[in-house]
Amino acid sequence: MTHAWLDGYQQRVDAALDRWLPEARVAPSHLHEAMRYAVLGPGKRVRPALCYATGDALGIPLERLDGPACAVELIHAYSLVHDDLPAMDNDDLRRGRPTCHRQFDEATAILAGDALMALAFRILAHDPAMVEDPATRLEMINLLATACGSRGMVGGQSLDLAAEGKPIERSELEYIHIRKTGALIHTSVMLAALSSETATARQREHLEHMAKQIGLAFQIQDDVLDVTGDTDTLGKTGGRDIERNKATYPGIMGLKPAQELALELHQQALEALAPFGDHARPLRLLCNYLMHRDT
Amino acid sequence: MTHAWLDGYQQRVDAALDRWLPEARVAPSHLHEAMRYAVLGPGKRVRPALCYATGDALGIPLERLDGPACAVELIHAYSLVHDDLPAMDNDDLRRGRPTCHRQFDEATAILAGDALMALAFRILAHDPAMVEDPATRLEMINLLATACGSRGMVGGQSLDLAAEGKPIERSELEYIHIRKTGALIHTSVMLAALSSETATARQREHLEHMAKQIGLAFQIQDDVLDVTGDTDTLGKTGGRDIERNKATYPGIMGLKPAQELALELHQQALEALAPFGDHARPLRLLCNYLMHRDT
């Protein structure tokens, strides 16, 4: 990222992930090496940053959010490992490096993904630094499990694969994106909101609204970057969506209207943050970064 | 199974699984259909039965154990779906039917497995009929996440794949089996033990000991059946371990010594149940069934 604040979040979650991930010298070494490769490589750490920035907006000590930030990043990393597999998106490059199954092998990539998901739940159940109230933690686990289940992220990926090469309406595309990317973005914000002992119901509503708008804007921007970006900058193969006849916002609406829609959603997200005043400065920076990134 | 008691457990968990699994008509239908196919087909439901039978030994109302019983069966079912994939064991038959990726497709099988794991954790976080104390439930989630993580079931499968075609010592084989099968068997018993508000530390120790012995005995028996069983009875391809040069107990020790070791472990498991008297009758029946099954 580019701003010191956001870089700080990134370093913070990387240090926490490094602590939670088993060392590569611990058996089974090959599996642990693959897990670390999939998680600790270059990456924007958008979801942890959303979690921490929401925490800053609510005045939560950030160590309480290391667990949730790790959990959402682990879920994100596992989903990339599985989505990149030959039977799914069949991608060779991710974040500028060989995908996990290219670097290791398919069996190891499948198992590493499985183990990353299990670790995410272990952290939420086990991290002593997290919010103390066990009932709140159960609520957090339920939220994450729902977000990454068959009616959340995994369901979105399933529908996305099924839609390849077929004509699709904007409402269907939104339905897919809300699940495939939106659910985990939303969860990243709401895990932080749940970690606050003082947040009001109204504050949570505002954050929830912001999360929904920015989640969709983020995915539209991803679609736009697939058209406008090049492989070197993206760190993954550009133009893949078009090549595979994937439904995208630029494909359905045209490039310029898609860019305008992303900006409009971004604007709405910023408006939802107004009541938080200066405390939401990191969240605003992050929303701006997500709109103006080139990868 | 064969005894009314055990059949009762099986029907009980099947009904609970049917309630928790999303209906096939709910979108994404294809994914939900695959999840139901992978879970609700024929199967012994050994892990739920261990959970319920432990509950009966401790006098726990069985509805409190429907959640844990479903969770362990969902984890077991997801692991079979992923293990059967072409990149792993490449099996075409499971429980007498085409494996999930043969009945649907590979992408759907990967995603269905992922969604089944997420559902298992959602149930433990969310089921209102389970033990009330939220701290105990967090402990249960931690136990399950550890058992199915990189140092548990997934790690065991990784080591098992790595050992294919290589000479291996008995201690290494035990190390693999304790993780690959033993961890989830152990968890099935201990989730029930944690659900009791009255179980003593001593009772938990006895159950833990029983779970470890029976978990290993169960896996040895599996290895034995791969040699002695035929494809029709097993519902999966017999002789596969030998064909793939997999390390097995009969392969390392010889068939008869492996059978004797299983019986010895079985005997130790029964001894650990002695202090529970008549209450452990279902657990004893189950241990006997696990030793004398032919599939």
Predicted confidence pLDDT, tens digits, chain B (295 residues): 567 888 999 999 999 999 999 999 999 999 999 999 999 999 999 999 999 999 999 999 999 999 999 999 999 999 999 999 999 999 999 989 999 999 999 999 999 999 999 999 999 999 999 999 999 999 999 999 999 999 999 999 999 999 988 889 999 999 999 999 999 999 999 999 999 999 999 999 999 999 999 999 999 998 999 888 766 666 666 666 766 778 899 999 999 999 999 999 999 999 999 999 999 999 999 999 998 887 7
Taking only the tens place, the pLDDT of each residue in A220-277 is 998 999 888 766 666 666 666 766 778 899 999 999 999 999 999 999 999 999 999 9
Looking at residue A247, what is its pLDDT? 82
The complex's ipTM works out to 0.95
Chain A, nearest residue to B105 by Cα: A87
Cα distance between residue B234 and residue B27, in whole Å: 34
Looking at residue B230, what is its pLDDT? 65
Q: Which of A190, A186, A191, A189 is nearest to A219 (CA)?
A: A186
**Candidate from A22-26, A281-285, B84-88, B226-230 with smallest mean pLDDT:** B226-230
Taking only the tens place, the pLDDT of each residue in A252-266 is 999 999 999 999 999
Chain B, nearest residue to A159 by Cα: B28
**Inter-chain Cβ pairs, chain A and chain B, closer than 8 A:** 163
- Joined together, the tokens standing for residue A286 give 């992050």
Which residues of chain B lie closer than 8 angstroms to A125, CB-CB? 138-139, 141-142, 145
A115/B155 CB distance under 8 A:
yes
- pTM reported for the whole predicted model: 0.96
* Domain segments of chain B as ranges: 4-292
Looking at residue B1, what is its pLDDT? 56
* CB distance A62 to A284 below 8 Å: no
Among B115, B149, B161, select the one facing A154 at the smallest CB separation. B115
Dihedral angle of Cα B254, A28, A111, B221, to the nearest 10 degrees: 20
Among B85, B121, B126, select the one facing A121 at the smallest CB separation. B121
Q: Mean pLDDT across the stretch A278-294?
A: 92
B27/A162 CB distance under 8 A:
no
Q: Which of B243, B194, B244, B184 is nearest to B216 (CA)?
A: B184
Q: A293 vs A5, A143, A238, A263, CA distance in Å? A: 16, 28, 15, 13
Chain A, nearest residue to B159 by Cα: A28
* CB distance B109 to B153 below 8 Å: no
Cα distance between residue B246 and residue B163, in whole Å: 7
- H or E segment to which residue A94 belongs: strand A93-94
Looking at residue A136, what is its pLDDT? 98
**Candidate from A94-108, A164-178, A183-197 with smallest mean pLDDT:** A164-178
Looking at residue A106, what is its pLDDT? 98
CB count in 10 Å sphere of residue B289:
17
CATH top-level class of A4-292:
mainly alpha
